[in-house]
Structure 1
Amino acid sequence: MLNLVKTLVLFCALGLSTQALAAEKFWTVLPLGTSGGLAEGNMSCYLIAPKGSDKFIALDGGTVREGFYAAKKSGAFNKLALTDKKAALENPLSLIHAYLISHAHLDHIAGMIINSPEDTKKPILAQTNVINDLKDYIFNWRIFANFADQGTAPLLNKYEYWDMSHGRELPIPDTKMSVRIFPLSHVEHGASTAFLIHSDNHYALYLGDTGDDKPENSELLKQLWIEVAPLIKSKKLDGIFIESSYLNGRPDKLLFGHMTPSWLLHSLHELATITNPKDPKQSLKDLTIVVTHIKPEASLDGMKIVKEMKSQINALNDLGVKFVIPEQGNILEF
């Protein structure tokens, strides 16, 4: 008790508050790709690790090398806690200790595939249908050499498929993280995946492509929210990666398993109500929400959509969450 009092006195003397302790950031994220398509040099891929570690996992693998180029240009390699900066620059793929692939659409796997000849040995964690797609249609010696441990011979055994459909939490080799998966609806029931990453009593949740339950005629998001609500209540869930592909006004029949700002807030309201039915407007306050998969328009000014997306999302934010729109190559922490 005396030590706690001393700590609080010290914080007050430094002009800090107990909120500063609570706000200490745990996760380091390096976005290698952030857009939801068209921009082939900037597609879904996020490296994540506990702060102070350089043993990352990749959440999807749409763009890899171009993301590392952007990270070098932004100075990110000078800010990461690298044990061997020279080795990281010589082959940054060595920083990735596992790929977690939400689904096998090209904007989520292309970078991993193209970089596989120079990659280091590591597992690919996914649900059964995703592994089957990679095995049958990608790493099959017709589309690309089979760098995995299953499928069309000869097997190059660089990647080891881990089928996570059993739903159990498993540790990720050579990292301080473990993961559990949940199916998501993306046009088809269970076509996409959410990954719940766990390290030292902290959690981060990454959702691959998904639509809201209502237009998807699904309850998979609701089931996911029920699972993570206790982590939000106990302040163990530090942040959620979730998509908003299109701007408001797009007809539901043309969403193709994606979100708009309105549907995103609808989904978050569902989560808020499940988390605290008595006071949903406060239950997600200050939770970090990383907005992913924003689809650029066809014009060469297509990324101006990001500014409008931010405006629409902030205008609807009555939950007090912290929306973050990530930028390729720029570190974010939460």
Structure 2
Amino acid sequence: MSNDERSVGDLRNTGMALKYDREWDYELERVAEAVADREAESVGLQFPEGLKRRAGGVADDLRDLLPAGVTVLISGQPCYGACDLDLEMMRRTDVFVHFGHSPMKESGNIIYVPLFSNVDVFPIMEEAVEELEDGEVGLVTTAQHMSHFDEMKEFLEERGFTVLTRKGDERLTHEGQVLGCNYASADVDADQVLYVGGGKFHPVGLGMEHPDKRVVIADPVNNVLTEATTEEFVKQRYGAIHRAMDAETWGIIVSSKIGQRRWDVAEDLVAEHESAYLISLDEVTPDRLRNFGFDAYVNTACPRVTTDDGPQFHEPLLTPQEYRIAIGEEPMDALSFDTFHGTW
């Protein structure tokens, strides 16, 4: 049997070992069909940081589905979201596959594979039901569990809850979906929100964006039920603002990443301050900023770099709103989470 006639199912049936992680659905058949339809000669694969170790196995299994002679390339560039595409590889390959996130912007040669999880979400949701207050509840999740979203909603409704959901804005693909930089889908008239997904990365941001809501976290991967708290997060941000209040020189960072460019915001900040300087960066890291020697920095790129990695930087790294608080244009109690809205 030739490579172009073989499917993932065929590989399983013949006993050939799949090298990629079966916890996720990599949709390799869909990728192979797209390659055939477009008569592509090259395919680029991009993985988020946590899945780069699986890249070789996924590439091997994809080659088994492709016609002989098709080149498969793996992007080594850092990738933290659908906003973070390897532009050079996109230009150099006929088909570019972005794993791990839902589409943020459609483009001719891009295939988004959200990596839907095969984990059963309902055991931990059964526990969450006991912790939720009766009545209305907002429901949100990440791209990985979106394939079960309608079932999750029905699950809660069958247990007497009024489930409120919305799509958010055009940066979000699905109703009820949240991103690390966008929680518009949680903007519903409910005092509590159930987040179904792993970790505290998303729910802490959700709690900051919607401080009036109780956020219950149902983690189906680790089978853990917790509640989001933002006190430590807020304390860290207040500390960064206070450290920046005496700054005389400011570096204003604008991202070169296609989905993180906020040129208008960055240029406005530079125009407002005579000792502010515009810096273009792809990756915002402590070492790169240390070389400039400014007293403080404002990051208009991914807000999670500021809030999650901020303590690692040698000088204060602020969001645009935090900058305005630091220079006295806004009160300290106005602090809010920096979010991205709209597509690029």
TM-score by length of 1: 0.27
Structure with a larger share of its residues in strand: 1
TM-score by length of 2: 0.26
- Of structures 1 and 2, the one scoring higher in RCO (CA 8 A, sep 6+) is 1
